[in-house]
Structure 1
Amino acid sequence: MTYGNQPQGGYPGNQQPADPRQQYAYGNQGASYGSSPYGATPQGQYAQPQYAQPQYQNAYGQSQFAYAPNGTAAMNAQTAYSYEQIRQAERTSIARAYGEMTVGLIITAVVALIAQTSGMYIRFIESTGFIGVMLLAIVQIGLAVYLSARIMSIKAGTARAMFYIYAALMGFTLSYIFAYYELGTIGIALGLCAAFFLILTMLALTTKFDMLKFGPVFMVGLIVLIISQIVISFLPGSTGMMRVICAVGLVLFAGMTMYDAQMTKRLFATYEAQGPEMIKKISIICALNLYLDFVNMFLYLLQLFGDRD
């Protein structure tokens, strides 16, 4: 396609299309994509058929904008259909992320039950002591950091395996709660957390309020929360203060749940054109973030309302 040797009308023999809306897929006569470096041009000079081809594709190779040679009615119908295809692909991608999160939670629960009933965690702590606890923490943090930093360069299968390993290690670590809390209390806290998480997710995905602008606030709040918990844990008689910290933590992770839900939607919209492999990677990293939100809310609910055994 050239710009300098076009006939004056834009088509051979100055033949204009019967319907000027064929000039662009967007239906704007004489519209351009920017200021022409060649100065003013007659209307339709650059209206080559190439401009009317689909310009963008979603993650499933379907066109987002369709060419409508039969007029406005056909164009509107095809555009609406393409928009619905985009929304369907977006919903499918978000469901994939939440599905991966659910699998991670199931792995965590199963490993925690096995570790508790078999006494594996107790024997591990007895044999390794504080070093074993710190080793588990370091490995889990390392996995999460590496997965977040290298998600774009590793394969989707590798990312999924790392996430499942992380979930299993988390389950092994959390098996201690069965020694501290009654089983009924754990079940109630889990049910409350699941309902709370679902409501927050639906609210985040349907509201027009932008939670993404609060990202820096949540990060600062998380750092302050971690430092506060460490300091208070060394203070005698700090049960009341710890309950306050748990309440603050619950509110903080409720906000982060809404933030991560909207971030999941944003990431899929950004990377959906890069193919199914990228969608799988994004679903894993989003699942990790949502998984951490769920686990932390569950633990704070358990500490606030749980009856210790």
Structure 2
Amino acid sequence: MYGSDQQTNYGQPFAQPQYQQQGYAYAGAATPTMTMNGQTVYSFERARHTSTTQAYGEMTLGLLLTALVAVITQVTGALDRFLMTTGMMGWIGLAVVQVVIAVMLGVRIQTMKVATARTMFYVYAALTGFTLASIFEAYSLPSIGIALGLCVAFFFVLTMISLTTKKDMLKAGPILMVALLVLLVGEIILMFIAPSHTTLMVTAALGLIIFAGLTMYDAQQTRAMFDMAEQSGDTQMIQRISIICALNLYLDFVNMFLYLLQLFGSNDD
């Protein structure tokens, strides 16, 4: 079980905005009103694009930090020394800290200071990098590179599809979360009653499908949350949303990468 295999259920604190077409009484007043509305729509779309870009930017920085910490940890042997000192309790402690950070961000993001939330996100990313250093011992560098390249490609395609399609993926959120919970419980049970390479491949394939759906869901939810926050004009809330959305997208990416590594990874040097 992976330390980052936790997709927190943040819920939907912001409902999707409802837009109503403006009515015009007469043609003489229509021209200036339409101009004003055009400027408003342009400003709104530009703000939404900027906010969405910020969320993906935060996610990217978190991933880069994770990669950097993982490489440094592997080179220095810090994880091996940590586990020799703490044993299994060390793994459990790291997992608990990561879960606590994710849950706190999800529950208290609306009242938390932006700087605090951002710091917690990057601490989470660093801890994930520390634990992910173990993949260098389990898989060869070419396998890790292939899995990472596939993950980047899949994530980009899924994001583009979700942000351009008219299909509402937000309705699939609860189903995907239940499927993820069932998968995690099933992985733990199968690890004891039917441990095999086939079982590992099947659960990895199912996990990949679920997180592909969650990637599309989180992409649309990110846009919906920004829509509502930007209408309210609360800049602090927009900053908070960018962080929580970055965490959601970060978790999607990391878990997709891990499942791809299980499917296509090899320990052959």
TM-score (norm 1): 0.77
Give the AA of the match of 1:239. H
Can you give the 5+ residue segments of structure 1 that lack an aligned partner in the other structure?
Answer: 1-24, 31-67
C-alpha distance in 1 between matches for 2:69 and 2:195: 33
For residues 95-115 of structure 1, give each alpha carbon's deviation from its aligned partner in whole angstroms, at most 9, with x where no partner exists.
Answer: 000000000000100000011
1:148-183 C-alpha deviation (Å, 9 max, x unpaired):
111011111110000000000000011000011111
CA offsets, 1:1-37, max 9 Å, x none? xxxxxxxxxxxxxxxxxxxxxxxx945449xxxxxxx
Residue by residue over 1:67-86, the C-alpha shift from the partner in whole angstroms, topping out at 9 and shown as x without a partner, is: x9x63222222212221111
2:267 is paired with a residue of what secondary structure?
Answer: coil
Q: Which amino acid aligns with 1:246?
A: A
Alignment of 1:34-49 (within 5 A): none
Q: What is aligned with 1:270?
A: 228
**Aligned AA for 2:177?**
M
Tell me the secondary structure at the aligned position of residue 167 of structure 2: coil
1:32-181 aligned at under 5 Å gives the runs 71-181=29-139
Distance of 1:104 and 1:215 partners within structure 2: 24
**What are the Cα deviations for residues 52-78 of structure 1, in whole angstroms up to 9, with x where unaligned?**
xxxxxxxxxxxxxxxx9x632222222
Cα distance in 1, alignment partners of residues 147 and 52 from structure 2: 25
Relative distance call for 1:277 and 1:185 in structure 2 (3 A) is same
What is the alpha-carbon distance in structure 2 between the residues aligned to residue 235 and residue 173 of structure 1? Answer: 26
Contact 1:140/1:166 (8 A) holds in 2: yes
> Residue 303 of structure 1 aligns with which residue?
262
Q: Report whether the alignment pairs 1:251 with 2:197.
A: no
Measured in 1, the distance between the counterparts of 2:194 and 2:111 equals 47
What's the CA shift for 1:271?
Answer: 1.2
Q: How far did 1:259 drift?
A: 0.3
Whether contact under 8 Å (2:71, 2:133) holds in the other structure is yes
Residue identity opposite 2:263 in structure 1: L
Tell me if structure 2 keeps the 8 A contact 1:27–1:72. Answer: no
More helix by share: 2
2:243 is equivalent to residue 284 of structure 1: yes
1:222 maps to 180
CA deviations on 1:89-144 (whole Å, 9 max, x unpaired) are 10000000000000000010000001111000011111111111000000000000
**Contact 2:66 2:126 (8 Å CA) reproduced:** yes
RMSD (Å), alpha carbons: 1.7
Aligned counterpart, 2:5 = none
Q: State how many pairs are aligned.
A: 247
2:140 and 2:189 map into 1 onto residues whose CA distance is 27
Letter matched to residue 292 of structure 1:
L
The match for 1:18 is: none
> Aligned partners of 1:300 and 1:71: how far apart in 2?
58
* Amino acid in structure 2 at the alignment position of 1:189: A
* Secondary structure, aligned partner of 1:185: helix
- The one-letter amino acid of 1:256's match is L
Q: Which of 229, 250, 253 is the aligned partner of 1:294?
A: 253
Unaligned runs of 5+ in 2: 1-20
Task: Give the whole-Å Cα distance in 2 for the aligned partners of 1:261 and 1:236.
Answer: 35
Q: What residue identity is the alignment partner of 2:253?
A: F
Between the two structures, name the one with larger relative contact order (CA 8 Å, sep ≥ 6): 2
Distance in 2 of aligned mates of 1:254 and 1:196: 8
| Deviation for aligned residue 1:187 | 1.0
Separation (CA, whole Å) in 1 of partners of 2:30 and 2:105: 48
Query: Which one has a bigger Cα radius of gyration?
Result: 1
Shift of 1:237: 4.6
- Does residue 207 (structure 1) correspond to residue 165 (structure 2)? The answer is yes
